[in-house]
């Protein structure tokens, strides 16, 4: 039987994961020890659970370093990734152009403004 020492920070009686918290799910998925923390609200094991779906369907998971649970909607990289996933890449254009549904056109403009 293997035991994990959870490295956490305690603030006013609440325990928080830190980047040094060993995560059993990493070992289950990769066979190697690994440490991560959640997003400040959701524990890492819950955030990474969708990795188990790879057995049945194509899953792409990208971890955005420093993207906190509520602040992710202010994260330009999150919106860039979102646009890449929901957009349709035009193969004839060598410069990575996407065709987007009209409802996302404003979002793309806003993301581009954030990147400037």
Residues 30-72 have pLDDT tens digits of: 899 999 888 888 999 899 998 888 888 888 888 888 888 888 8
CA distance 21 to 5: 8
pLDDT at 10: 61
Supply 109's token pair: 């403009």
Please name the residues in contact with 53: beta carbons below 8 A apart, sequence gap of 6 or more. Answer: 59
Residue 79 has pLDDT above 60, yes or no: yes
Q: How many Å apart are CA 69 and CA 47, to the nearest integer?
A: 10
Residue 51 per-residue DSSP state: G
């Amino acid at each position: 039987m293997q035991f994990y020492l959870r490295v956490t920070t305690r603030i006013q009686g609440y325990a928080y994961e830190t980047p040094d918290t060993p995560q059993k799910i990493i070992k289950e998925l990769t066979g190697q020890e690994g440490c991560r923390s959640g997003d400040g609200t959701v524990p890492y094991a819950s955030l990474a659970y969708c990795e188990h779906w790879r057995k049945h369907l194509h899953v792409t998971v990208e971890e955005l370093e420093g993207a906190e649970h509520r602040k992710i909607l202010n994260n330009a990289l999150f919106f860039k990734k979102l646009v890449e996933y929901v957009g349709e890449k035009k193969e004839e254009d060598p410069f990575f152009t996407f065709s987007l549904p009209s409802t996302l056109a404003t979002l793309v403009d806003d993301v581009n403004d954030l990147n400037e």
